[in-house]
Chains A and B, each alone.
Chain A
């Protein structure tokens, strides 16, 4: 850990001014990831801008029937918010599948989006890693890669995005409100996180001088037919090997609309709208689910230790769609995947 400057901006404009003025500055909100990264010497910010006291803690209904969640709403508060539980239970559930209660109490909504990968090499500064030290090489491709990606990888990086919450936000097609020196803008969730390509050091399309102010949820919450399942190496407090957020709109036993996002398999929550569209008008049966799962994983490729994730992801998709169709979502306090 290195010495750093510490400041507390008075408002959002001040926060933006401060981050824009210092390229070696970082925001700190809950600190559940940045402090770890500093202890591991992965992040070496010269300046920490503590935004945790900014007034971004509201959870409000929007005029269009959706909801707007302040960037500093703690994950726990969001997960147990009555309107979120009632209207967006897939989001409440995905949050509860992540981390531990203590971490969820500290972690912020905006910070959750900006979590960095848990690739073992990213965390160990004694090893090459293109995401941490661009150009140094990827150690995971022919190294320990049980947790690494099977979709959307590049020669430079096979890291995954570790968030559970974001997998649900991808399905809900949330919007990310950000503020920067040029004012405010809105980023569609699918455009927020990036694939690694040749620049794995960039996780997101958030500019270095921008701040997340809110997450907006559209009106549709898929509260009737949804689930979030997370498969991991122990039943709690582990990152996903594969997770699936599934949301369906059914008409009788026919699928009117399907949304699917995978976690633990790519550099971002993984969606494929073409595959989802093939489910429209199909009967909500195992066969439909399996063929969608096959299509979703068609281009998946393992790197040795994580080869099994390809088939596991297919089966997890089938299980998730089955749970969603039956209206029997996974409870995150159940000690088994049902």
Chain B
């Protein structure tokens, strides 16, 4: 009965977005709105000796300038600042809390004015004196001070002994620089003051996370603060944790008892979370036939001085490849920077880049085709926990991807393939991510005219959550999709987790199904009570909702229309809210997989690198919407191209300062950098993971892409670049 699930349904919110009707956090207006502007630090570490706001306060139209010296109360205890996704260890950052400078571009004052321009002007008049302290922002310089934070996966066998005994060995270090999310929409919050209660429109991936955090930070009752964010112009993980704009907007509103809007500048957004710079050290040992004996993977990532942020960079080899001996280690080095945060496929984008580059180097050493090496080492079980997968169609990804790409025509010799002045390089890599799912609730309001409103607190960060929930609801309720409206991004709606980790599709869609079952049960109860009901003896499991009717599953002629049932029962609406929890099942590993094939063309003399073709074959269970999922994967590939060739947050370590804190100088790919991209969804039926067989596609698109490109660059040029981004100077000979 799936009229919509699995189809390329266009975005239900597309019209609102392209016509500008969709409102974002900074779009909400109210009377007597106050505008904020933030002053940020120009040193990376130290203390504010003196902060003089008198000049700024004298500007006509300035209402107040808040600093750590005069701000309203905020919670003193660390725990009050811990949001749902804060690192376990550490003290979360508190804007304007004290005079300590912990990183460059740290917010240190909030100017509040009647007009935005006035606030910006006055912000330039805030005078500061610092007591500077020696800072550290260079991971390479601090690597020796790194400490082990966790052993994500148990070691197996004896890695050192196995490596020594291996016939073919590879050892190398790979580096991924700090990267920033750079969502198009600036971080912004509009805090609407209503006699002590606040409605906060905030750019976030989790309205309930922000709501809980603000209540805790400002010691408010749950119904004092409501957080709303129906649309988001890109999140990518930057909006998983509450960012300081929401704290400062509320702080300003409390100080003035007026509504406040604060929009961060692009440069200020570089002091929010980021993908941590990471050094990845790998050793691989194999027999001459390509059988892997040993994998060790050590990651050294940066974190802030005040929180331990770490993700699983290592251990992916245990999911992909059979190896009797493994050792994984994750270390952190403290830097004077803001705390890193999740950024699309955190841990995997970086760790799998290193692993899949190393596997390519091993294939070269073994004189084996890279795909063949991966098939030889293919693991049908999660090696780390010795579990079978709920499903794993990675073999099919390799096969279908290679076929679509034309991989069999590859000459394995580096510098052997050419097109005019350009070297041609073909590289491939595997991708892997977790198929996570979380408890989530949804509400359905079915009205007597056959329309339904589906709602939950989830954010649609641009991925298509509105659309897939409309599809799922339409199918579950047996209604045309035009009759479904979806409401998201309001903290008063049914509880959902933050939107991240690729878990929202599975989590929210099963919540909708659970709520739809409640609706069906009530409809059935009413239908059974009708005179001469064709469903008189039907049980819930005997009936389905389809074509606007409630009908017997196996005899669709025995049916009653939903509108008739509701007219008969006299109810003008049925309201059902249901929380879905997935049965705990530790007997299987749950992952999505991909195989990426990339072609680069590199100008022989000038070193200019073009990624002319990418084929990504993805196995991610059932694809709810082949159109939005395709866009997700395509976006991940484009980002992977950026990660491989362009992206780098450039620090001047002398100043401890980011020097390219704008999107003119922080390069992401532009249209001219993108050529042919082919996304293949490999069929992967999964009846174990959840009833719909859904795994989520938010992260998998980027994983492995940078490695496939780096491997192609080596194949084209014979130059192995192990530090990203691969700029033309690194391949010039």
Contact = CB atoms under 8 A, between A and B. Distances in A.
Interface of A: 1-3, 41, 118, 120-121, 123-124, 126-127, 139, 142-144, 231, 233-238, 241, 308, 311-312, 315-316, 318-319, 335-338
A241 B672 CA distance: 17
Contact of A1 (B42, B124, B655, B659): B124
Given A234-B645, A312-B729, A126 B667 contact: no
A127 B655 contact: yes
Given A233-B646, A236-B672, A316 B606 contact: yes
Nearest to B662: A123
6 contacts: A234-B645, A235-B608, A237-B670, A312-B607, A312-B728, A336-B601
Given A3-B121, A231-B606, A312-B729, 16 more contacts: A120-B665, A124-B659, A127-B652, A127-B657, A139-B652, A142-B654, A144-B652, A233-B646, A234-B670, A235-B673, A308-B732, A312-B606, A315-B606, A316-B606, A319-B605, A337-B603
A234 B673 contact: yes
B121 A1 contact: yes
B728 A231 contact: yes
A238 B727 CA distance: 13
Nearest to A236: B672
Interface in B567-605: 601, 603, 605
Contacts of A3: 117, 121
Contacts of A231: 606, 608, 728
Contacts of A120: 650, 652, 659-660, 665
Contacts of A126: 42, 655, 657
B120 interface: yes
Interface string B636-672: 0000000001100010101101011010110101111
User: Which of B42, B654, B655, B669 has most A Cβ within 10 Å?
Assistant: B655
A120 B664 CA distance: 11
Contact of A337 (B608, B655, B662): B608
Contact of B669 (A127, A234, A315): A234
A235 B610 contact: yes
B675 interface: yes
A144 B117 CA distance: 32
Nearest to B641: A234
What's the dominant secondary structure at chain B's contact region? loop
B117 A143 contact: no
A336 B673 contact: no
Contacts of B654: 139, 142-143
A258 to B, nearest CB: 20
Nearest to B729: A308
Contact of B608 (A1, A143, A336): A336
Contacts of A338: 421
A123 B608 CA distance: 27
A30 to B, nearest CB: 16
Nearest to B604: A315
Contact of B665 (A118, A142, A236): A118
A35 to B, nearest CB: 13
A198 B729 CA distance: 31
A235 B660 CA distance: 18
Query: Interface size for chain B: under 10, 10 to 19, 20 to 34, or 35 or more residues?
Result: 35 or more
Q: Which 9 A-B pairs have the closest CB atoms?
A: A126-B42, A308-B729, A235-B672, A236-B672, A120-B659, A315-B605, A236-B670, A1-B120, A235-B673
A338 B419 CA distance: 11
Nearest to B105: A126
Nearest to A229: B606
What's the dominant secondary structure at chain A's contact region? loop
B732 A311 contact: yes
B698 to A, nearest CB: 25
Contacts of B665: 118, 120
A53 to B, nearest CB: 23
Contact of B657 (A124, A316, A318): A124
A316 B675 CA distance: 24
B654 to A, nearest CB: 6
User: Which of A126, A233, A315 has most B Cβ within 10 Å?
Assistant: A233
Contacts of A318: 605
Contacts of A335: 610, 672-673, 675
B707 to A, nearest CB: 20
Given A1-B124, A312-B729, A238 B667 contact: yes
B274 to A, nearest CB: 17
Nearest to A121: B659
B121 A2 contact: yes
A259 to B, nearest CB: 21
B121 to A, nearest CB: 5
A168 to B, nearest CB: 20
B672 A144 contact: no
User: Which of B120, B675, B729 has most A Cβ within 10 Å?
Assistant: B729
Contacts of A316: 606
Contacts of A236: 670-673
A1 B118 CA distance: 9
Contacts of B673: 234-236, 335
B109 to A, nearest CB: 15
A286 to B, nearest CB: 11
A116 to B, nearest CB: 13
A234 B667 contact: yes
Nearest to A333: B672
B116 to A, nearest CB: 10
Nearest to B123: A1
A318 B637 CA distance: 34
B732 to A, nearest CB: 6
Contacts of B727: 233
Contacts of B662: 123
Contacts of A127: 652, 655, 657, 659
Nearest to B43: A126
Nearest to B422: A336
Contacts of B121: 1-3
B640 to A, nearest CB: 15
A139 B607 CA distance: 28
A337 to B, nearest CB: 6
A204 B662 CA distance: 27
B670 A336 contact: no
